[in-house]
Amino acid sequence: MLLLSPEKFPDYELIDCGDFEKLERFGKYITIRPEPQAVWSKKLSSGEWEKTAHVEFIQKGSNSGEWKRLKEMPDKWQIRYVIASGAKQSLQFKLSLTSFKHVGIFPEQSVNWEYIHKSILAMKQFLPLKGEEGGGLRFLNLFAYTGAASLAAKAAGADVTHLDSIKQVVTWARENMELSGLKDIRWIVEDALKFVKREVKRGNKYHGIILDPPAFGNGPEGEKWKLEDNIHEMMQHVFQLLDKENHFMILNAYSLGFSSIIIENLLKDFAKDKLETGELFLQAKSNLKLPLGVFGRFRSF
């Protein structure tokens, strides 16, 4: 089992975590947010946290809350991530203080952005990239949020399809694409399971796919998603979308109690002997490790 954490992300830092909270720096600004996995004690004092932070998220309900300002800062700002592989391309992200505690990026996922970028560059060496009409290298991002994985794939030269069920975050992803100097990503607002079923019927194939499904969610027409109830059916259809000869896939899951062994069992029949599984985590400046999801990934080369 692999334990993976971002190695180089100058615009992000986990400073400390504990007592069900995390203290993070995004660019110039420092936030305090709830973190259900941080069941241990903080290393720094609560006074040090409040003295350091610009804003703190105050939970008001199960899925929402509000931000309490401790220092002056804007509602929206930008950070960047430089992809290590290839030509060191820079991805630019707009961040925002949302009512759902998120700011628009999951830094631990940068491990997956690197894997996507490297995999596409490797595949381009033996699979001519002809563009979308010519059936070139195709990448699908399901449950795509604000699109960092989509940008990594596009920066490497793939034809990218980006799908999320929430129109506002797809619009946000488009803004990130434009900020990053990229273009021509295909945007879809739809229920992910409905989409993959239809793609299977159409006979469409993709060379790379990433899924980062939530524990719970709703489609644009009220479709219900529950990870443990729907993930097996989802994967059965997604496997049919992979190009048989040249492909890679990442399945990522952030859910309390969801084991990497579950991911292994879901993927091993298709992945054969090339499967890697493990946990993503963030290394805090205070020397604590914060687990942030399990993953499985494989590729045909």
Stretch 281-285: mean pLDDT: 98
- Whether 186 maps to a domain, the answer reads yes
Alpha carbon distance, N-terminus to C-terminus of the chain = 20
42/20 Cα distance (integer angstroms): 9
Better-predicted residue by pLDDT, 128 or 174: 174
192/264 Cα distance (integer angstroms): 22
From residue 265, how far is each of 260, 268, 273, 275, 296 by CA, in Å?
9, 6, 13, 10, 10
pLDDT for res 18: 98
pLDDT in tens, 259-276: 999 999 999 988 877 999
Residue 134 has pLDDT above 50, yes or no: no
- Whether 58 maps to a domain, the answer reads no
pLDDT for res 269: 84
Beta-strand pair 76-82/65-69 = unpaired
How many domains are there within the chain?
A: 1
pLDDT for res 147: 97
From residue 255, how far is each of 53, 196, 225, 262 by CA, in Å?
27, 22, 13, 12
- Whether 37 maps to a domain, the answer reads no
pLDDT in tens, 221-256: 888 888 989 999 999 999 999 999 999 999 999 877
Stretch 294-299: mean pLDDT: 97
Counting residues of the chain whose pLDDT is more than 90, the rounded percentage is: 82
Residue 168 has pLDDT above 80, yes or no: yes
CA 182 to chain centroid: 18
- Whether 65 maps to a domain, the answer reads no
- Can you give the residue range of the structural domain that contains 81? 73-299
- Whether 79 maps to a domain, the answer reads yes
CATH at 225: 3.40.50.150
Length of the chain: 301
Q: How confident is the model at residue 92 (pLDDT cuts 50, 70, 90)?
A: very high
- Whether 228 maps to a domain, the answer reads yes
Stretch 142-152: mean pLDDT: 97
Do 33 and 40 contact (CB within 8 A), yes or no?
no
Stretch 149-162: mean pLDDT: 97
Stretch 278-285: mean pLDDT: 97
Q: How confident is the model at residue 115 (pLDDT cuts 50, 70, 90)?
A: very high
Q: Which element (helix H / strand E) includes 30?
A: strand 29-34
- Whether 10 maps to a domain, the answer reads no
pLDDT in tens, 189-230: 999 999 999 999 999 999 999 999 988 888 888 888 889 899
Stretch 56-75: mean pLDDT: 92
Supply the pTM of this predicted model.
0.94
Of 1, 59, 2, 4, nearest to 282 by C-alpha is 4
Stretch 172-195: mean pLDDT: 97
- Whether 215 maps to a domain, the answer reads yes
